[in-house]
């Protein structure tokens, strides 16, 4: 084949015209030690703290320690195939996860990778795992209620959208159930939910996902799972990843509820990483910045003003105590960061009072400003009444001869405790809570046995909804009830008591249709 000199000249000219003099420099280090999810890397002189690096086998890591001769990297994935001498390349990027509504209904790991077998995540943007919390000027007042559907919470320790309310108690006292009930109750309320499982058994997470699916709650929920079988770095990253997903929704003006279950295991994973990185240990072997670990996470939960989208992130962190000791290190740290706490007591749980909320220690520091006005009206004296009942109950154990007034107070207190009981996965609306508490305050349940209370309460609410649908709407819309409204409700409660409850001597009532 013969080529003309002009053609060769033309090709060379095109090549020269399209030539780009671009020099690519990549900084590569070498693994000098690896084990337990940690790698020490030599040669990354310009790497930044928090930067993502890539190992030779494709696994990512994040730089946590900057030493004079090496850097400490936490390995975000399988680390057993990484060995001494492997190359490590900088990416010059910080760790990010996908966000947006494409993650709703999905189960992902701490890196935002799908675990549910439903294909790739539909997301067009990545959100940084570590981000500065909104400042004072960007925030708005917490004044919109976040209904949990749990009478004892909404009446005694109400939560507002943008609040951080700690759930604290020993193991097996119903902490997760409380949080899951709150997620289930958000159905149809335009609140997106994120559940972050930290260090839990895989079977427990699977059970929770099944329960949310059966209740139709997975449609608006994302589960971020870092289970007990995952390495400590994944447990450490998980809550920050969950928060980044929540922020991606808040940016769109959405209201988000995020549950961190639980931060005790999160602190333990950070302690493990810190000790492996040879950071100096402090109290209970935790590193000195363990307070900052949780404060920089929980401060990201907020209600932002309309100029910044008007969205909110409500956080329900969970902390596990040992033998009810809330004065230990991690519980006191998180209590000082949050806007209140719900304390679940083992003794109450064992007595069958569930949720086992101790109203004496539990408090909400801002939720009262966001509570439904009607619920606030009927629950105003509830905390005092319960405290007096507990005091009388303790006193009555030492005296067999009680006067009628004291006996009546004990009965009323017992029924108030009874009306606040609630089965798992069965949250109820605010208007139904108002009726139940009002009826208990007015003595409807005084002669009802504890076994029959759920049945009588259900019939009462059906009766009242049919008779006072206008007042139910008023309560739901956040309006205050007038004296006439309360008189009307009390008359109907008395009518229900006369027509539906029949006295049977000292054996309590029987229900009749």
For residues 264 and 285, what is the distance between their CA atoms, to the nearest angstrom? 14
How far is residue 172 CA from its own chain's centroid? 17
Instruction: List the catalytic residues.
Output: 365
Residue 320 vs residue 124, higher pLDDT: 320
Q: What is the pLDDT, as a whole number, of residue 253?
A: 96
pTM of the model as a whole: 0.91
Q: What is the pLDDT, as a whole number, of residue 21?
A: 63
pLDDT band of residue 399 (cuts 50, 70, 90) is low
For residues 441 and 446, what is the distance between their CA atoms, to the nearest angstrom? 9
State yes or no: pLDDT of 425 exceeds 50: yes
Whether 197 contacts 234, CB under 8 Å: no
Whether 332 contacts 326, CB under 8 Å: yes
| Average pLDDT over every residue of 456-463 | 94
pLDDT band of residue 427 (cuts 50, 70, 90) is very high
Q: Among all chains, which residue has been given the structure tokens 């009810």?
A: 324
Strand partners, 166: 341
pLDDT band of residue 506 (cuts 50, 70, 90) is very low
Q: What is the DSSP string of 9-61?
A: HHHHHHHHHT---------EEEEEEEETTEEEEES-TT--TTEEEEETTS-EE
List, in order of start, the domains of the chain with CATH numbers: 28-94 (2.40.30.20), 98-371 (3.40.50.300), 377-382+414-511 (1.20.150.20)
Residue 182 vs residue 505, higher pLDDT: 182
CA 402 to each of CA 45, 275, 336, 397, 508: distance values in angstroms, whole numbers, following the listed order: 79, 60, 42, 10, 20
Q: What is the pLDDT, as a whole number, of residue 401?
A: 72
Edge to edge, the sheet with strand 107-108 lists 107-108, 221-226, 191-198, 255-261, 312-320, 166-169, 340-344, 363-364
Q: Which residues are CB-neighbours of 151 under 8 A, at least 6 positions away?
A: 419, 420, 422, 428, 433, 436, 437
Q: Among all chains, which residue has been given the structure tokens 């109907």?
A: 492
Give tens-digit pLDDT for 350-363: 999 999 999 989 99
| Average pLDDT over every residue of 219-241 | 96
């Amino acid at each position: 084949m013969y080529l003309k000199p002009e053609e060769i000249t033309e090709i060379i000219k095109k090549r020269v015209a399209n030539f780009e003099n671009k020099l690519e420099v990549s900084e590569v280090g070498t693994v000098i030690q690896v084990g337990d999810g940690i790698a020490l890397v030599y040669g990354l002189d310009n790497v930044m703290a928090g930067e993502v690096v890539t190992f030779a086998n494709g696994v990512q890591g994040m730089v946590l320690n900057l030493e004079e001769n090496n850097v400490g990297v936490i390995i975000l994935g399988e680390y057993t195939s990484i060995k001494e001498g492997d190359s490590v390349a900088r990416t010059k990027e910080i760790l990010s996860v996908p966000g947006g509504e494409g993650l709703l209904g999905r189960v992902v790991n701490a890196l935002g990778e799908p675990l549910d077998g439903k294909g790739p995540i539909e997301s067009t943007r990545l959100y940084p795992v570590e981000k500065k919390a909104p400042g004072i000027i960007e925030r708005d007042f917490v004044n919109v209620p976040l209904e949990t559907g749990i009478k004892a919470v909404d009446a005694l320790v109400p939560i507002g959208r943008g609040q951080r309310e700690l759930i604290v108690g020993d193991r097996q006292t119903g902490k997760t159930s409380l949080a899951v009930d709150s997620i289930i109750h958000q159905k149809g309320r335009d609140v997106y939910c994120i559940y972050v499982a930290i260090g839990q058994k895989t079977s427990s997470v699977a059970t929770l996902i099944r329960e949310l699916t059966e209740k139709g709650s997975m449609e608006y929920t994302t589960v971020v799972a870092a289970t007990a079988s995952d390495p400590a770095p994944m447990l450490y990253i998980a809550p920050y990843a969950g928060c980044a997903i929540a922020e991606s929704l808040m940016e769109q003006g959405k209201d988000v509820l995020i549950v961190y279950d639980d931060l005790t295991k999160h602190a333990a994973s950070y302690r493990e990483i810190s000790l492996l990185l040879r950071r100096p240990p402090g109290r209970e072997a935790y590193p000195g910045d363990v307070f900052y670990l949780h404060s920089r996470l929980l401060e990201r939960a907020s209600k932002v003003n309309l100029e910044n989208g008007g969205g909110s992130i409500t956080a329900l962190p969970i902390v596990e105590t040992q033998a009810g000791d809330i004065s230990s290190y991690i519980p006191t740290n998180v209590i000082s960061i949050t806007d209140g706490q719900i304390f679940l007591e083992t003794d109450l749980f064992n007595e069958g009072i569930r949720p086992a909320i101790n109203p004496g220690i539990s408090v909400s520091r801002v939720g009262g400003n966001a509570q439904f006005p009607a619920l606030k009206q009927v629950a105003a004296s509830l905390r005092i009444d319960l405290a007096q009942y507990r005091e009388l109950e303790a006193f009555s154990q030492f005296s067999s001869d009680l006067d009628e007034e004291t006996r009546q107070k004990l009965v009323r207190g017992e029924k108030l405790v009874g009306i606040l009981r609630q089965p798992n996965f069965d949250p109820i609306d605010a208007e139904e809570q108002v009726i139940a508490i009002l009826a208990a305050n007015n003595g409807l349940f005084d002669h009802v046995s504890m076994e029959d209370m759920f049945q009588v309460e259900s019939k009462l609410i059906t009766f009242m909804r049919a008779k006072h649908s206008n007042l139910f709407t008023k309560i739901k819309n956040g309006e205050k009830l007038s004296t006439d409204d309360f008189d009307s409700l009390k008359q109907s409660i008395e009518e229900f008591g006369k027509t539906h409850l029949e006295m049977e001597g000292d054996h309590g009532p029987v229900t009749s249709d």
